[in-house]
Amino acid sequence: MSLLTGLALGLMVMAVGSIGMVWYAVSHLKPRDRANCERRGKHAQ
């Protein structure tokens, strides 16, 4: 049981870490995309 619980915890930690990294990247990339869209919109107008 200890091995199974250890593997389960390891997988959970890896999953949370990967999701956190993706969320971190998305949260930091979105503002740049919004700024680019705003700049394009202003130039278009």
Residue 44 scores a pLDDT above 60: no
Give the alpha-carbon dihedral of 2, 4, 7, 9, to 10 degrees: -70
What's this model's pTM, rounded to 2 decimal places? Answer: 0.48
Domain that holds residue 7: 1-45
Q: What percent of the chain has pLDDT over 70?
A: 64
Residue 14 scores a pLDDT above 90: yes
Q: How many domains does the chain have?
A: 1
Residue 4 scores a pLDDT above 70: yes
Phi, psi of 32 (to 5 degrees): -65, -45
pLDDT at 17 (0 to 100): 95
Give the integer Cα–Cα distance in Å for 8 and 40.
47
Token couple for 6:
């250890």
Under DSSP, the state recorded for 45 is -
- 20's enclosing H/E stretch is helix 2-44
